[in-house]
Each structure stands twice: as C-alpha cells, then as structure tokens.
Amino acid sequence: MPAQRALYLRVGALVLAGAALAIGFLLFLVGNNFGNRPVIYETYIRESVQGLDVGAPVKYRGVSLGRVTEIGLVSANYRAPQGEPFAGAFQMVLIRFDVNMASVGETAPDLEEAVKQGFRVRLASQGLTGLAYLEMDFLAADRFPVQAPPWTPRYPVIPAAPSTVAQVQTAAQTLLQRLEQVDLAGLIGNLSGLLADLRKETNEGDFSEVLNQAAQLMRRLNDTSSGGDLPSAVADIRAVAAEARALLSSRDLRGTLAGANQAMAEVRTAAARLPASLTALENTLRSARGTTGDLQADLGPILRDLRSAVANLRDTTELLRRYPSQAIFGAPPPSGR
C-alpha cells in the first residue's frame, strides 16, 4: 500500500506538472492578445465572392488586421420587412469578419466618422494566385455612397465598395450596351455614301478641276524652270535688288533721311510746345473777353447820353428851321392869323 500510494503521488504530480506546462505554453502563445477581444463587423457585397473563404485575411493597405469569420447570403440571416417584396438588397452576400483593435491603435477615428470620410471594404486578389481577401481603405465618399439596409444589423456595418474587377466589368458592360444601341448598318451606309461622293467629286467635280489646274501649273513651272526664262528672271531680280541696295546706300538718300529726321524732331518740339501755346492763347482770349465786357459796361451810359444829346440837337435844329428869330432873339413866335 505505501508503494502504491507513492506511485499515485508521483503520477498525480506528473499530471499536475504537465497541466501547468500546457497552461503556461498556452498563456505564452496568447499572451499578446490576452484581454484584446477582436471586434466583429459585417458588410454586404453585390458581386461574386469566388475565391474568398472563411479565414481569409482582412487587411488595411496591406497590413493584416483580422480574418473572415462567416460568409453567407443576406436572405439566410435577415428577413425582409413585413409587406415588402424580395428586394435586391436580399440578393447580396453577407460577410462577417473580426478586427484586432490592438493592431488598429487608439488614435483610430470613430467608425461613423470614418464611414463619412469614405472608409469602405472591398474584395481584392493576391497577385496571380487568385486567392481573395478583404481590403479596407478610404475611398471617395461621393463616388461610393452609403445605403442603409432595410434590416437591423447584428454587428457594426462597414459599407462595401465594388472591387476593381467589378468596376472594369461594369464599364465593359455599359460600353457593350451602348454599342448595341448604335445603328451600325446605318453608320456603315452613311460612310459608304460619303466615300462614293468623295470619289465622284475627285473624278468629276470641282475638286477634280482644281487638281487638273494644279497639275497644269506644275507643268508650266517645270517647263519654265527647264527653259531659259527662269534664269533670266532670276538675274533681273538680282539686278533690281542690287540697284535697290545701291539706292539705299547712296549719299542723297542718307541726306534726305537725315533731313526727315530733323524735321520730325522739330515737329516733336513744336508738338511739345503746343499745349503751352494753347494755354496762353486760352488765357489771352479769356482776358479779351473780360476787357470786352468791361468796355461794353462803360460804353452803355455814354451811348445813352450821346443819344439824348443827338435828340436835343435835332429838336434845336428843328426849332431854328421853323422859328429862327425866336431861337436867336427870344421873341414869341408869330401869330397864326
């Protein structure tokens, strides 16, 4: 019994030591993440999630922050509101993922504020392998607006943006739709008609006549250059240029130009003096106008007095003519009897 009891004691101590070592090793592995419980978010994607599996990394500009925890359909997790049909929102894919907030840091903005600034999540591919992962980044908020889901989410929602591949596919589909709407038959017909009209105009129309005239002109120029007229014309032009050069360098022309320059200088001087002369003339006219006004004011009374004197002289002359004796001797005028 004592030997058996000692054996049990050794086995129990060994088991306890192993359990302690296992717990210590486990604490060593999760020591950095102990107490930092990851936060679960969810998003809704309209495109295919082919290549994305549970456990795929969640990155922010290449930095791993978490992993994908669940992939499913929205219709399997939420129900449409009462009375509303099965809308397009319930045809999307639901993705839930956790984010280690210790890797994000304490200076990260609030989720609502970050979403307003364009914080979105989208699918991305890892090079040539084709393995997909979730990428979080800040995009243009006005380009990818937020649409509130018609259900109550169980976890905080980070809006999704279409991936680069989805954007390229959408642009290609839009281009194909526009090409389908183009009337290619009519366009080809119009182009054929335009080419026919151009060919006809080149062969028979005004453009053909212009081409013929240009060809004739080129032939005439070729004939002229090959004959003897062109060298003589060139010689005449050179002679005229030499005479013009000699005329420009002659002494008479230089003297004429010098006289013209002097005359222009005198004209500039006279033009410079003209404002002062005009000012003096204006002052003289103003003085003459004042003197004329004063003279008119002085001559007015003199003319009135002279007019009165002329009237008195006229009366005296009439009195002398009619009654000379009275005017001379002062006798009364003769009686009318």
Q: Which one-letter amino acid corresponds to residue 95?
A: I
Q: Is residue 296 one of the residues assigned to a domain?
A: no
Q: Is residue 245 one of the residues assigned to a domain?
A: no
User: Per the structure, how many domains does the chain have?
Assistant: 1
Q: Is residue 179 one of the residues assigned to a domain?
A: no
Q: Is residue 198 one of the residues assigned to a domain?
A: no
260's enclosing H/E stretch is helix 251-322
**Residues contacting residue 137 through CB under 8 Å, at least 6 positions apart:** 60, 61, 119, 120, 122
Residue 337's pLDDT is: 43
CA end-to-end distance (rounded Å), the chain: 212
Q: Is residue 211 one of the residues assigned to a domain?
A: no
Q: Is residue 22 one of the residues assigned to a domain?
A: no
Question: Environment class of residue 305 by beta-carbon count within 10 Å: exposed (0-12), middle (13-18) or buried (19+)?
Answer: exposed
Tens place of pLDDT per residue across the chain (337 aa): 567 777 777 777 788 888 888 787 666 655 445 446 789 999 999 888 988 999 999 999 889 999 999 999 988 888 877 766 666 777 889 999 999 888 787 766 788 888 998 999 999 988 666 788 999 999 988 898 988 888 889 999 999 999 887 778 778 878 777 777 777 777 788 888 888 777 776 777 666 777 777 888 787 777 766 665 666 666 777 877 777 777 667 677 677 777 777 878 887 887 777 777 778 777 777 777 777 777 667 777 777 777 777 777 777 777 767 766 665 655 555 555 4
Angle between helices 229-248 and 206-226 (to 10 degrees): 80
Domain membership of residue 134 as a residue range: 39-173
Q: Is residue 185 one of the residues assigned to a domain?
A: no
251's enclosing H/E stretch is helix 251-322
Residue 205's pLDDT is: 65
Residue 107's pLDDT is: 64
Cα–Cα nearest to 123, from 158, 156, 162: 162
Quote the tokens at residue 328: 């001379």
Quote the tokens at residue 217: 């002109």
Q: Is residue 80 one of the residues assigned to a domain?
A: yes
Distance (Å, whole) CA 109 – CA 115: 10
Cα–Cα nearest to 42, from 122, 90, 98, 111: 98
Give SS3 for 200.
helix
Using an 8 Å Cβ cutoff, are 118 and 144 in contact? yes
Question: Environment class of residue 312 by beta-carbon count within 10 Å: exposed (0-12), middle (13-18) or buried (19+)?
Answer: exposed
